[in-house]
């Protein structure tokens, strides 16, 4: 049965815009955003240093005249130096500090929060979630945006929403079974952990739960890992992208085609640039994602360097939306490993590992330095126990060969029993670099 447009789109008039209509709306909102930025002490100074004025922006192409904004800019102007409205109009702030240094602060008016909820609701509706679904959110709440972002978006759709928050896996599973959870938001590594604990508890996710939709994101993952998670939990897993500086979740999301994440271009202008030269790259080529907010009041950001590596997927999506599609995040430009002059990203290693049915989803890359020689060790858990040593040796050799073909270096591969590697309730730690303490 063919779905009607009303069934397919939450915001039909915005989701079905043509490219010409999208760009016209973007230019209108860009002009308004640039004028608003002139109320921010930071952008007043930045425009003056660049000898720019709002009148110099006469087309979307003129966006490139504006200097980039970086996370360091947010830290240097902590806490409220990028505010574009009086603080009396700000109703919430979120903070993202990473592991060290001064926090970055993002400010929101009530309208900003309403638009954020609309964007997340649009994403969830796009993958088939409706009133009557039970949406369980395993994100952290508080300053972390994943909790409240999905909470308000799910409530906007009228779903019963379970703010389970992060951690306590057995409690998560109890909620899933007792409350009839149909949709779960979890980072990929934690989704695998939930399945592992379900197995320990004797729970079959297909037979014993109503789960059918999984929303994943927040950490790089391969297509192979996504398919493994889908098979383990008996769900369709949809990739999502968000970041605190852009509000949080709801920036880009897969539709039911699962062929790239539609980025909502009525909220953002997207650029992909070479991380070294900062020049634009053609559609289809991997580079650093740069985003400009065009529908935000309290703290608009112009040409924000996300450090995330992705590409714009060329061509149209069969779903009928013309908003550009982003490929899954390949990693971050500042997460790149360099061994013997070779640039390597963890996602390259994961893509190889996840092709082997004998392997689980947990792995750890350790970098060391011995006698001025960089070494890489890849530990990966087996899916099931095995004492067939000739078979394990052959499997190790084949994994090593395929990794060498992919990264052009030969790592040490170690197959370890299931449950051996440390488990994380938050984002998985995939790389341990010990070279700093050994060099």
pLDDT tens per residue across span 132-179: 999 999 988 888 899 999 999 999 999 999 999 988 999 999 999 999
Q: How confident is the model at residue 40 (pLDDT cuts 50, 70, 90)?
A: very high
pLDDT tens per residue across span 178-187: 999 999 999 8
Give the mean pLDDT of 10-27.
97
Region of 168 (left: φ > 0; alpha: ψ -120 to 50; beta: rest) is: left
Dihedral angle of Cα 201, 205, 209, 212, to the nearest 10 degrees: 150
Is pLDDT above 90 for 250? Answer: yes
The pLDDT assigned to 166 comes to 85
Apex 317 CA angle, 315 and 319, nearest 5: 165
Considering Cα of 312, then 317, then 323, then 326, what sign does the dihedral take? negative
CATH number of 1-333: 3.40.50.12780
The pLDDT assigned to 433 comes to 84
Dihedral angle of Cα 135, 136, 140, 144, to the nearest 10 degrees: -10
Query: For residues 267 and 438, which has the higher predicted lDDT (pLDDT)?
Result: 267
The pLDDT assigned to 4 comes to 47
User: Of 20-24, 334-338, 357-361, where does mean pLDDT reach its minimum?
Assistant: 334-338
Could you give the residue ranges of the DSSP H alpha helices within 354-431?
Answer: 389-407
Percent of the chain whose pLDDT exceeds 70? 94
Is pLDDT above 50 for 2? Answer: no
The pLDDT assigned to 423 comes to 77
Is pLDDT above 90 for 90? Answer: yes
Contact residues for 231 (Cβ-Cβ < 8 A; gap 6+): none
pLDDT tens per residue across span 211-244: 999 999 877 788 888 999 999 999 999 999 999 9
Is pLDDT above 80 for 335? Answer: no
pLDDT tens per residue across span 111-120: 999 999 999 9
Domain boundaries, the chain: 1-333, 337-438
pLDDT tens per residue across span 41-57: 999 999 999 999 999 99
Q: Of 301, 280, 299, which is closest to residue 291 (Cα–Cα)?
A: 301
Give the mean pLDDT of 239-258.
95
The domain covering 337-438 belongs, at the CATH homologous superfamily level, to ANL, C-terminal domain (3.30.300.30)
């Amino acid at each position: 049965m063919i779905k009607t447009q009303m069934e397919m789109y939450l915001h039909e008039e915005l989701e079905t815009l043509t490219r010409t209509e999208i760009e016209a709306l973007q230019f209108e909102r860009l002009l308004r955003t640039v004028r608003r930025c002139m109320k921010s002490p930071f952008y007043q100074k930045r425009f003056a240093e660049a000898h720019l004025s709002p009148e110099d922006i006469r087309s979307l192409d003129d966006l490139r005249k504006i200097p980039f904004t970086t996370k360091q800019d947010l830290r240097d102007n902590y806490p409220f130096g990028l505010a574009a409205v009086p603080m009396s109009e700000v109703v919430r702030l979120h903070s993202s500090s990473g592991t060290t240094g001064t926090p970055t602060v993002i400010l929101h008016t009530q309208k900003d929060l309403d638009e954020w909820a609309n964007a997340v609701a649009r994403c969830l509706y796009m993958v088939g979630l409706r009133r009557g679904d039970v949406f369980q959110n395993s994100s952290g709440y508080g300053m972390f945006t994943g909790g409240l972002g999905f909470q308000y978006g799910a409530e906007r759709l009228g779903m019963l929403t379970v703010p389970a928050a992060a951690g306590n896996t057995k409690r998560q599973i109890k909620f899933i079974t007792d409350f009839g959870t149909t949709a779960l938001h979890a980072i990929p590594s934690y989704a695998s952990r939930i399945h592992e604990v379900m197995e320990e508890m004797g729970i079959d996710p297909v037979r014993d739960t109503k789960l059918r939709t999984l929303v994943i994101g927040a950490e790089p993952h391969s297509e192979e890992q996504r398919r493994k998670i889908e098979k383990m939990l008996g769900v369709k897993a949809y990739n999502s992208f968000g970041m605190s500086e852009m509000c949080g979740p709801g920036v880009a999301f897969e539709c039911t085609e699962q062929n790239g994440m539609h980025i909502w271009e009525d909220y953002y202008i997207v650029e992909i640039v070479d991380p070294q030269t900062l020049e634009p790259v053609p559609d289809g080529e991997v580079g650093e994602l740069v985003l400009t907010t065009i529908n935000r009041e309290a703290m608009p950001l112009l040409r924000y360097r996300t450090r995330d590596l992705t590409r714009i997927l060329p061509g149209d999506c069969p779903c009928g939306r013309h908003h550009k599609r982003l490929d899954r995040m390949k990693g971050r430009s500042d997460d790149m490993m360099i061994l013997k002059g070779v640039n390597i990203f963890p996602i390259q290693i994961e893509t190889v590992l996840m092709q082997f049915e004998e392997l689980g989803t947990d792995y750890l890359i350790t970098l060391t330095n011995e006698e001025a020689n960089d070494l890489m060790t890849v530990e990966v858990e087996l899916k099931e126990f095995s004492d067939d040593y000739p078979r394990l040796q052959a499997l190790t050799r084949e994994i090593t060969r395929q990794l060498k073909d992919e990264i052009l270096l030969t790592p040490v591969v170690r197959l370890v029993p299931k449950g051996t590697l440390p488990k994380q309730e938050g984002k998985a730690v995939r790389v341990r670099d010990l070279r700093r303490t050994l060099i």
